Structures are given as structure tokens and as C-alpha cells.
Amino acid sequence: MIFATYWFLLFAVVAVLVFRLLPGPAWRQAWLAVACAVFHWHFAGPAGVKPIIVLMIITYLAGISGRRWASAVAMTAAVGALCFYKYSMFLIGSAVAPISAPLAGALARLATYAMPGAPPLGVSFFTFEFVHYLVEVRRGGEPIRNPLRFLLFAIFFPSLVSGPIKRYAQFLPSLEAATRAPFSSAELAEGLARVGVGFGKKILIADQLTAYIDSSQPHFDEQWLVGKWTIFAAIAFRILMDFSGYSDIAIGCARILGIRLPENFNWPYAARDLRDFWSRWHISLSLWLRDYVYIPLGGGRQGWPRRLVNVLIAFALCGLWHGPARHFVLWGIYHGLGLGVCSTYARIPELGPAVAQALRREPLTGWAATQLFAWLGWLLFFYPTSEAWHMARQLFGL
């Protein structure tokens, strides 16, 4: 965890103190840009910095050009870079290897030679932010003409690693206000409290649950039924505490600077149906998928069969975005199917309205079914498909 290092803690203290002590917006923005660049260079290294510099330049120039073809080229470059750095080996192994093993081997060696040891830092997040920016500019939004402000949007250090995924029309006014505002003890207290909550979730809860899962899950079959369900619950709460903890730290660090980032979690395990769950879980990603995949595909405007296809495509991409493996894609399709059922079951003659009325009358049943569905999905998210299926059967004594 990048945030839980002594280097980051010292860096954050220096970055905030200097930012607050500098006299005006120009100096503050310049300092923040330097701080973000240092952060990125330290954790990404030279090989990881080069791709985002190239993509930043392409995206910035495409935005200010006002040319639709330039935006299309820039989006293609951003998505192409994401696919190359994150999915090359997965695509070679899945699509090429079954056809020609020698060709797959040659492509794998070429990809290994061409790419750094790990994908560029935050590539999944800054790619989605660049695509969002270019789409909104094509729709008539005002481009970011100031290169310094675009740099800050692209590599703002609190959100660079694990989000939330920013919207430039929300971020830039907040940045401008923060660089002009005097020191606020209320913002400092709010930010520090949020950072403290995030570290507590991550270190005191998520890391302890990880240790428990790592020691217990290999012996899953040997556990009593209560033990299996305890591991199952630990897996579900571990990812919530881990990911929402990261988001809390990022949001809190930005708040200390006086900048507001979008909320990313809102008690998802209180959701009463799957649509409600996805309005509470990784909110910035859910909204991105809705606005830039689901709705452009047609949304729900062309009948429920097309709506289901659009949901499945959006959530298959959601799964793939999380990692280059089949079980991530299957996890996305699993949730896409669940959302499809959630949005259409009430239309089933006789049975659908009766079920819908029963769930309205007994909301606890809807909550329990939603959480069971989402938690079972985490098995598919974390484990290979066969192992996830085996663990799910064990939970029900099958």
C-alpha cells in the first residue's frame, strides 16, 4: 500500500505545509504540480512515467484542438496503452496461444521486451479519466487550456493510484477554490479524520482479515460450516474495508489541501437490491460505466433484451478493468446478469408482481438476497472459477 509508507507520510506533510504557506494561486498550483510529479516519479519510476507523459500530451493537444478526429485518436491511444500494458499477456494467452503456440511465444517475448516490469502506475484510472475528458469536450465541454491545470487533473497524487475517478468539470473548480482560499482548520480536521478512518479500515481491519483469510482459506474444506461462513464473511468485509479505506485516505488527503474528490462508497452492504448496491459500491467507476459505456450503447431505450446486452457488455468491461483474468470477466458478467434480473423480474406475468410486492413488504428479504448475491460474487472475484464454485457449494453443504 503506497499510502502506508514512511516516504508517503513525510511527502504528504511537506506537500501540504508548503502548499498552505505559499501566498497565491499561481505559486500553489505550481508547487502542487511539482509535488504530484515527484510522487509519480518516486512510485512509478522512469519507465512508468513515460507512458503517462506521452498520453497527457496527446490528450491535452486533442482537447484544445477541437477536432473530433483528434479526440478519437487520443482516446484510441489511451485505451490502446491500457490494453497493451495491462492485457497483452492475457490476450496473447487467451486468443493467440490456442491457435499458434510459437506465435504466442514470440508475441509474449516482444511484449515483455517492450513494456516495463509492471503496468504504469494508475494506468486504469488515468485512462478512464482521459477518455471521460475527451468525450465531454467532444460533447461541447470547455477544454482545459492551461497545461499546468491539465497536469494537475491528470496526476493529482491522492487519486492517482486507486481513484476515485475524477470528473474534470468538478475537480477544476475545487482546485481553483483551494488555491485561493486561506487556511481552514475545519478542512484540516475533516481531512485528517477521513485519513484516520481510512488507515483504520486498511490496517486495523482489512490487513487483519487478510491474515485470517490467508491462514484459514487453504483449509476451507476442513472447516465446520460456521467456520466456512466466517471465512466467507471475512472475504466480503476485507475488500470493503481495503478499497473504501484507500478511497477514504485519498479523499482525506485532498480535503486537507482544500480539494473535494467524489465519494466512492456509501454503505454498499446496506443495499436492498443490486441496483442500489452499484449506486453505493465504487461509485465513481459505476457512474463512468453508465455514462461512457452503457448509455452510449443505447442504455435501456431499445427494450429489455438490448438493455440486458448493454448491461452485460458494461459489466464484462468492469470485470476486465479490475484485472487481466477470466474470473474477473465472469465476475462482471455475473453482476450484469444479476442486474438484468433485478430490472426485469417484475415483468414476469403473475410471479413477478407477487415477488416485487413481497420484497416491498419484507425489505429485509431483499437486503439478505442482495448481500448473498454480492458476497458470492467475491468468491468469483478472488479465486479461479472452479475454486469459487467449490467454495460456494461448500457453504451450502453441497
- Write the DSSP string, 134-193: HHHHHTTPPP---HHHHHHHHH-HHHHTT-PPP-HHHHHHHHHHHHHSPP-HHHHHHHHH
Does 200 share its domain with 251? yes
Measured CA to CA, the distance from residue 42 to residue 393 in angstroms comes to: 45
Sign of CA dihedral 68, 165, 93, 54: positive
Does 277 share its domain with 146? no
Does 9 share its domain with 152? yes
Measured CA to CA, the distance from residue 262 to residue 322 in angstroms comes to: 20
State the cell numbers at 329.
470477466
Question: How many structural domains does the chain have?
Answer: 3
Does 207 share its domain with 59? no
372's CB contacts (< 8 A; 6+ apart) are none
Of 139, 135, 117, nearest in space to 78 by CA: 135
Does 191 share its domain with 171? no
Measured CA to CA, the distance from residue 174 to residue 307 in angstroms comes to: 36
Does 134 share its domain with 201? no
State the cell numbers at 118.
509492471
Measured CA to CA, the distance from residue 264 to residue 244 in angstroms comes to: 7
Measured CA to CA, the distance from residue 337 to residue 343 in angstroms comes to: 10
Measured CA to CA, the distance from residue 282 to residue 314 in angstroms comes to: 15
Residue 62 domain flag: yes
Residue 263 domain flag: no
Q: How buried is 393 (Cβ within 10 angstroms: 0-12 exposed, 13-18 middle, 19+ buried)?
A: exposed
CB distance 210 to 274 below 8 Å = no
Question: What is the pTM (predicted TM-score) of this model?
Answer: 0.91
State the cell numbers at 272.
436492498
Maximum Cα interatomic distance, the chain, rounded to a whole number of Å: 68
Domain endpoint, select from 153, 180, 207 = 180
- State phi, psi for 5 to the nearest 5 degrees: -130, 150
Domain endpoint, select from 138, 156, 180 = 180
Does 175 share its domain with 197? no
How remote is the C-alpha of 213 from its chain's centroid? 23
Residue 207 domain flag: yes
Domain endpoint, select from 209, 229, 256 = 256
Residue 262 domain flag: no
Does 240 share its domain with 340? no
Does 172 share its domain with 193? no
Measured CA to CA, the distance from residue 345 to residue 353 in angstroms comes to: 8
Does 136 share its domain with 113? yes
Measured CA to CA, the distance from residue 204 to residue 351 in angstroms comes to: 46
Residue whose cell numbers read 500553489? 28
Residue 11 domain flag: yes
Domain that holds residue 281: 268-395
State the cell numbers at 266.
456509501
Tens-level pLDDT at each residue, the chain (398 residues)? 688 888 999 999 999 999 988 988 999 999 999 999 999 998 888 777 888 899 999 999 999 998 999 999 999 999 998 988 888 888 887 777 788 777 777 877 887 777 766 677 788 898 999 999 999 999 999 999 999 999 999 999 999 888 899 999 999 999 999 998 888 888 899 999 999 999 999 999 999 999 999 999 888 888 899 999 999 999 999 999 999 999 999 999 999 999 999 999 999 999 999 999 999 999 999 999 999 999 999 887 777 788 889 999 999 999 999 988 899 999 999 999 999 888 777 677 766 677 777 777 787 888 999 999 999 999 999 999 999 999 999 999 87
Does 144 share its domain with 202? no
CB distance 297 to 314 below 8 Å = yes
Does 63 share its domain with 208? no
Residue-level pLDDT at 116: 63
Residue 341 domain flag: yes
